[in-house]
Amino acid sequence: MVPFLERINEILFAAVLIVSFSLLSYIILQNWRSDIVRALSVLLAGVIIAYSGDLLLARAQRPATIEFLGRAQWLGIVLVPAGYIHFANALLAFGNANAIAQRWRRSVYFAYLSSFIIFLLVVLGTNLVIHTGIPSGPIAQFQAGPLFWVYVIFFIIAMGTALLAILMVRRAALTPSQRRRLGYLGATFAAPGIGVFPFLLVASPSMLPVSVILMLQALASLIVIAMITVMTYSVAFQGVLIPERLIKQDFVRWWLYGPFVGIATILFIQAVPVMAQMLGLPAETLITFGVMVMTVLMPIFVTQVKPYLDALIYRQDHAEIDYLRNLPRSVFTRADLRTLLENSLVAICTPLQVKTGFVIAPGEDGFSIKAIWGSRREVRRLVSEHPIGDLIPRLEAMPYDASASLDSGSFLVVGSFCLLPLRSPDGMFLGAIGLEATTDQLRRNGGTSPEMRRMVTGLAHQIELALTTAQMQRQIFDALRGLAPEMQSLQRLSSRLEQTTPLTLATLDEDVVLHPEFSQLVKEALTQFWGGPKLAESPLIGLRSVRRVLAEQGGSPTQALQTVLRQAIANLRPDDQIDPSAQEWLLYNLLEGRFLRRQTVRDVAHRLAMSESDFYRKQRAAIEEVARQILLMEEHEYENSTGRR
């Protein structure tokens, strides 16, 4: 019975280690700037160190090794009470009980100093805190020294402090969601303490059978796994201004790919010796095959399980999330469009014995050649002799012919090419197909036959449908990008309202970035950038980033706002290695020329080779990018002022 329980405890020790390390990695990556997260990281690190010592002690044989490991794991044991006091202080600061938090701040430093002194007394081999008791056997432990009870009092005070802070912050929370999460935190905060406290120094093994002690250790490990998971989940929301559903989704995904896969692998490795004995095969062979199977099956299993877990997370938004999840498979991308255009050119040119063909279609920078089949040199020569900008008005002026037959005069002959206009069902010009052939050549090659007419007409209509779909998608995506600042503001407002306290509620109205017309305010400020009458009265004067640079600008709010706007535009400047014709450079050059250099719309549009109507469309996108940059700057200021993400 005892050997079986020892094996179970080893597995559970490894499980606690995997879960703790995974949760520590998750919470650090999620929101390291939060003081609450840093305190929780100390608690999880204490659990990791303590359980690492337990796992190694279970296999240690030499008394010297047992002595060293038993003393070294006290680094984790002494970190936990200091982490609890740190956690309590961070919670109070988060709940805006700043007066109490400031008074307790010194106690955090004192707690870490005390922990360091206790650990120093342990590792130096003194008997003041612990001394060697039972150096071997299934339960290798030490005995309590005279100062051990000082540590016990320190531990109890630390846990009581953390519980008191949780209750105080929960009482101040205004929203049901925040109170519920703090309730979870209050129910599970003791997990690190349960995991690391040296209970065997208080209760002698002679009081209980070894098998009972091992069963209690196993039960404690299971409790620690469940409680630290819920505790970390509760802390993951604190100070994070992103929607609850995203945090839940990230947490579940991390748990599946981290602790779940790790625990499954550990269970398999532990089962290998038993399987090897039953099958009469070497353990190394089973491990090789097992790793191969686990590597393939575990990702498949996680992929299959995840949609069901997402369904639990998104119970009310299940239909929308399912649609968005499948959207990448149904979107007609630019790569899909290019492939369709190229294949259509092959299908048209091959039976007509045409050596070169191309398709002109609209894009973000106006009409351009989107697909070529055959000689690129001939296409470049045609474009150099007859610029696309000159061909488009002539193609648009051609009468609309829905049949698009090859002998009806619907082609525009330019040089050695024939250009067939492409239009939407309502007659809107979409582009053109170019074929390197004259109408006589097309007629000689069978282009006037009924079968060829139907084929060309059908393919041309498919190209028209593809261009219409791509254009509609681009408009939808542009609209979504335009809504992004508003959606981000709403998400931030929802998260802040969810975590608000009476002291923070009054400051919400002062946060300019939460204004529903924030992008419009940025546009007005840029328009008045060089000292317009509305600049000094702009609500953007209240931005945290503006207040920060106010002193640097001689106390002038106008100059401070100009500095912030200039910095936001500078943040959009692409890397010099990026192609100068890229969209990023276009938006940056537009902002710099129009607002920083005070050039006219006509001058900027001419310099960037675009029409004035296209300029205003690009200007809207550029201003939205400036608004996003200011949002990022404000988030950075918010993090620095509150210690939150």
Alpha carbon of residue 84 to chain centroid = 29
* Residue 404 one-letter amino acid: A
- Tens digits of per-residue pLDDT, 326-340? 666 667 777 777 888
What's the number of domains the chain is made of?
4
Look at residues 452, 472, 492 and tell me which one is the last residue of a structural domain. 472
Rounded to an integer, what distance in angstroms lies between the CA atom of residue 38 and that of residue 43? 9
* Residue 23 one-letter amino acid: L
Q: Is residue 269 part of a domain?
A: yes
Q: Which of 355, 365, 356 is nearest to 334 (CA)?
A: 365
Rounded alpha-carbon distances, angstroms, from residue 512 to 208, 357, 597: 64, 54, 27
Has residue 509 got a pLDDT over 60? no
- Tens digits of per-residue pLDDT, 209-223? 777 888 888 898 999
Shared domain check, 136 and 45: yes
**DSSP 3-state of 386:** coil
Has residue 644 got a pLDDT over 50? no
**pLDDT recorded at residue 154:** 92
Of 133-142, 152-161, 178-187, 551-560, the poorest mean pLDDT is in 133-142
Shared domain check, 155 and 269: no
Q: The CATH number of the domain where 122 resides is what?
A: 1.20.1070.10
Look at residues 241, 269, 298 and tell me which one is the last residue of a structural domain. 241
Shared domain check, 429 and 407: yes
Q: Which one is predicted more confidently, 99 or 214? A: 214
**pLDDT recorded at residue 319:** 64
Q: Which of 54, 175, 35 is nearest to 496 (CA)?
A: 175
Rounded alpha-carbon distances, angstroms, from residue 442 to 375, 394, 400, 445: 18, 22, 20, 5
**pLDDT recorded at residue 135:** 45
- DSSP codes of every residue in 108-150: HHHHHHHHHHHHHHHHTT-SSSEEEEE-SSSS-EEEE-TTHHH
Paired strand residues for 417: 414
Q: Is residue 480 part of a domain?
A: no
- Determine the angle formed by the axes of helices 74-94 and 35-57, rounding to 10 degrees: 160
pLDDT band for position 497 (50/70/90)?
low
C-beta separation of 481 from 618 below 8 A: no
Look at residues 207, 241, 275 and tell me which one is the last residue of a structural domain. 241
**pLDDT recorded at residue 393:** 87
Q: Is residue 386 part of a domain?
A: yes
**DSSP 3-state of 381:** helix
Q: The CATH number of the domain where 449 resides is what?
A: 3.30.450.40
Q: Is residue 491 part of a domain?
A: no
Q: Is residue 520 part of a domain?
A: yes
Give the chain's length: 645
**pLDDT recorded at residue 84:** 94
Shared domain check, 246 and 227: no
Q: Is residue 77 part of a domain?
A: yes
The mean pLDDT of the chain is 78
Shared domain check, 315 and 170: no
pLDDT band for position 436 (50/70/90)?
confident
Average pLDDT over residues 237-243: 64
Average pLDDT over residues 529-543: 75
Q: Is the pTM of this model over 0.85?
A: no
Take residue 127 and report the two structure tokens written for it: 């008997």
Q: Is residue 493 part of a domain?
A: no
Has residue 279 got a pLDDT over 90? no
Shared domain check, 451 and 381: yes
Task: Name the residue range of residue 574's domain.
Answer: 500-642
Kind plus residue range of the DSSP H or E element containing 168? helix 148-172
Shared domain check, 282 and 349: no
Shared domain check, 597 and 467: no
pLDDT band for position 159 (50/70/90)?
very high
**pLDDT recorded at residue 513:** 57
C-beta separation of 213 from 205 below 8 A: yes
Shared domain check, 433 and 345: yes
Rounded to an integer, what distance in angstroms lies between the CA atom of residue 79 and that of residue 116? 8
Shared domain check, 247 and 237: no
Shared domain check, 321 and 373: no
Has residue 626 got a pLDDT over 80? yes
C-beta separation of 47 from 196 below 8 A: yes
Average pLDDT over residues 39-58: 90
**pLDDT recorded at residue 156:** 93
494 contacts: CB under 8 Å, gap ≥ 6:
243
C-beta separation of 530 from 559 below 8 A: no
Has residue 79 got a pLDDT over 90? yes
C-beta separation of 549 from 630 below 8 A: no
175 contacts: CB under 8 Å, gap ≥ 6:
497, 498, 499, 500
- Tens digits of per-residue pLDDT, 573-613? 887 767 677 778 888 888 888 888 888 888 888 888 888 77
**pLDDT recorded at residue 42:** 94
Rounded alpha-carbon distances, angstroms, from residue 415 to 359, 407, 409, 410, 411: 16, 18, 16, 16, 12
Has residue 93 got a pLDDT over 60? yes
- Tens digits of per-residue pLDDT, 355-381? 888 988 887 667 888 888 888 888 888
Q: Return the DSSP state at 256.
A: I
C-beta separation of 512 from 540 below 8 A: yes
Average pLDDT over residues 528-555: 75
216 contacts: CB under 8 Å, gap ≥ 6:
208
Neighbours of 129 (CB within 10 A): 25
Shared domain check, 183 and 64: yes
Q: Is residue 492 part of a domain?
A: no
Average pLDDT over residues 407-418: 74
Most confident of 196-210, 371-385, 418-432: 371-385
**pLDDT recorded at residue 136:** 47
